[in-house]
Structure formats: structure tokens, C-alpha cells
Amino acid sequence: MPAFLAPTANATGAFNDSNLTVSQWDTVDEDRKHAYFTNTSSHVKALILTVFVLSSLLTTVGNGLVMIIIARIQRLRTAANLTIANLACCDFVMGCTFWTAVLRRETMLQCAVFSWYAVTTTLVSMMGLALLTINRYVAIVYPLHYYQLMPPARTGALIVACFVYCLAIGAAATIQVSFFWQPTSICVVDQVLPAGFVYFFAGHYFVIFILMTYCYTVIAKIAWAHTKRLATASDAERREMTAFHATLKMSKIILTVVGTSTTLLAPHLFHMILSHSVPFEKLQTLRV
């Protein structure tokens, strides 16, 4: 832990604001200015604000439309589209609350609540990607048993179970932040959480990444074999393979969405790990 994050103690061992020296508070204030863009020039602040607003609008509108379309059209309420709607719902919430990332969080309560939000929404997004991948894997590998293995009711139960699990992990993050909070703490979620919890949380990403790599490798092999069969098939055989071909096309579109989301999540997860394996000062230029 950096020196300016280590609070001083009184004779009884208790930590409080009055124990901190002027130099400690000066260092903490300087780092808070860096974390909350206080020292940033006006044109850079305007650029950051523009990026935040545009990202929020695009995320909110795009995912909101997906949710509305699936909700309003009865025939679209399939197991596959439930997993898509689940991911869209998570991204919609993130888009609506994206702006909270730049708010100042200088008390333990503010930091604990934000940590719960950040951990929960990030994990829900990762679990949503995993469910989407599993759904496509079952649809391609077991097409004849897909509707028995992944009916809408079972898919909904899996979504609820994942959501409850994410809420529990978010609550654990809140407890961790509350326990380790000190007057000199800077509420950067990657750093206020203890190393053990960060590695546990980031482990979800790597497990899901390995799962997705395996699933889409299998799907790619089946798609290649299907393409070769399609090239030599008769017109009657091609008509029989139309439904499976449509499933493959949908899987390719979903792979694009999943791949993009997974790639966008990677820098944040790696930063969380680096926060506890690289000196604090070297990471300041990476923080957003």
C-alpha cells in the first residue's frame, strides 16, 4: 500500500481524521484531484463529458430498443432472445448510470454503494455473456434437443440464479470496502478492494473467457463442416438445412456482440489485477 494510503494511529490504535498529518492530507487531496479530474483542463473535461454522454445515449437507446422489441412481439420471446434481453437490460442500466463514475466519493458509504454497483453490474454483464454463449452452444451442438435442454422457463431460472449470485458478490464487495476503508482512502474501486477479492472477481472473467473460447471453437468447427456440406448438397438437402443455417447465422451475429463486449471488459479487469501487482504511482496514467 502506498504511504499516503496508510493512516496513522493514536495511542489506542484507532484511526481517525485528526491523526493525519498535513503532508498526508496534501498528498491525498492531490490524488483525489487526479482521480476526479479536478486538475484536468477545460477542453479535456469537455471531451470526457462528451464521450460519457454519447456512450450513455447510445447504450441506453440501443439496448432499450432491444428490450422493447422482444417484450412487445410474442414470437420473439424465445430462450435465445431471453438471454439477449438479459444482456440488453444490464447494459441499459449501465448506460443510464454511466455518469456516476465521475462523481466524487469521499465517504465510506458513498464508496461502498458505488463499489456494490460497479461490481454487481460488471459481473451481471459477464454472466449474461456466458449465458448467451451457453445458449448458442446448445443450439448448435444439440439442435434436436435444444428446446428440451433450454426452454424459456429454464433459461429464465438460470438468469435469475446468476443475478442473485451477482448481487451476493456485490454485497461482499460492499462489506470489504466498509471494512478496509480509512480516512485517506481514495475511492477507486480497483484499489479499495483487497487483493484477494480482486483476484477472485477477475477470475470470473478468465473462467468465462475460457468457456466462451471453447464453445465458439466447437461452433466454428460445426459451421465449417456445415458450409462444406452445403456446397455439395442438392436443392432438397439445402432446404432441409435451412433452419440450421439460420441458427448459425444468428450465432455469428451473437459472436460479434459477445466478442466486442468481452474485449471491452478486458482492460478494466486487467487494470484491477495490475492495481495490486504494480506500484500505485505507475498506474495513475491508466485510471479513468
Q: What Rg, from alpha-carbon coordinates, does the chain have?
A: 23
Question: Is the separation of the CB atoms in 176 and 112 below 8 Å?
Answer: no
Residue 24 has pLDDT above 50, yes or no: no
More confident position, 234 or 272? 272
DSSP state of 39: T
The CATH class of 23-286 is mainly alpha
Cβ atoms within 10 Å of 5's Cβ, excluding its own: 17
pLDDT tens digits for range 208-252: 999 988 988 888 888 888 777 777 767 666 666 666 667 777 777
Residues 130, 136, 141, 143: is their CA dihedral positive or negative? Answer: positive
- Dist. CA 80–CA 95, nearest whole Å: 23
**Which amino acid appears at position 245 of this protein?**
H
Calculate what percentage of the chain has a pLDDT beyond 70. Answer: 75
pLDDT tens digits for range 97-113: 877 777 777 788 888 88
Residue 160 has pLDDT above 90, yes or no: yes
- Chain centroid to CA 59: 14
pLDDT tens digits for range 62-89: 888 988 988 888 888 888 889 989 988 9
The least confident of 154-168, 256-270, 272-286 is 272-286
pTM of the model: 0.75
Q: Cβ neighbours of residue 255 under 8 Å, at least 6 residues apart?
A: 136, 216, 219
Residue 13: pLDDT band (50, 70, 90) is very low
Q: Which of 116, 121, 124, 140 is nearest to 83 (CA)?
A: 124
Q: Cβ neighbours of residue 35 under 8 Å, at least 6 residues apart?
A: 186, 187, 188, 287
- Dist. CA 226–CA 209, nearest whole Å: 25
3-state helix, strand, coil in the chain (%, to 5): 80, 0, 20
Cell 454497483, located at residue = 117
pLDDT tens digits for range 42-60: 777 677 778 778 878 888 8
In terms of phi and psi (left: phi > 0; alpha: psi -120 to 50; beta: otherwise), the region of 13 is: left
Mean pLDDT of 36-40: 57
**Which amino acid appears at position 218 of this protein?**
V
pLDDT tens digits for range 122-156: 999 999 999 999 998 998 888 888 889 999 899 99
Residue 200 has pLDDT above 50, yes or no: yes
Cβ atoms within 10 Å of 113's Cβ, excluding its own: 15
- Dist. CA 115–CA 246, nearest whole Å: 41
Please give the mean pLDDT across all residues of the chain: 77
